[in-house]
């Protein structure tokens, strides 16, 4: 499902909702997304983010789930 289809689906479903509390909850979620938060980074944090970004572009990182699988495998092998 692409973004346009998802938006249409959400609009269609929201139009059917009559519960004012539920609609207010959706509004709160949408309003929260509008708030832009800026985090002040230290020079070391900026450096680390740039390094990590470079590593990712070079394919030198793995996903968290892949890391979990490797850790589980190592744990199981250690128990044998």
Compute CA distances 13 → 41, 59, 63, 67, whole Å: 40, 40, 33, 38
**pTM of this structure:** 0.41
pLDDT 10s digit of each residue in the chain, 80 long? 899 999 999 999 999 999 999 999 999 888 877 666 778 889 999 999 898 888 888 888 888 888 888 777 776 667 66
**Per-domain residue ranges of the chain:** 3-34, 43-79
* Residue 75, pLDDT score: 67
pLDDT single digits (tens) 26-48: 998 888 776 667 788 899 999 99
Check: CB of residue 49 under 8 Å from CB of residue 41.
yes
């Amino acid at each position: 499902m692409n973004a346009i289809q998802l938006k249409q689906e959400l609009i269609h479903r929201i139009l059917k909702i009559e519960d004012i509390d539920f609609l207010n909850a959706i509004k709160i979620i949408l309003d929260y997304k509008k708030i832009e938060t800026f985090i002040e980074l230290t020079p070391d944090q900026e450096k680390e983010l740039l390094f990590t970004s470079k590593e990712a572009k070079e394919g030198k990182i793995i996903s968290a789930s892949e890391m979990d699988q490797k850790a589980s495998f190592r744990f199981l092998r250690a128990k044998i």
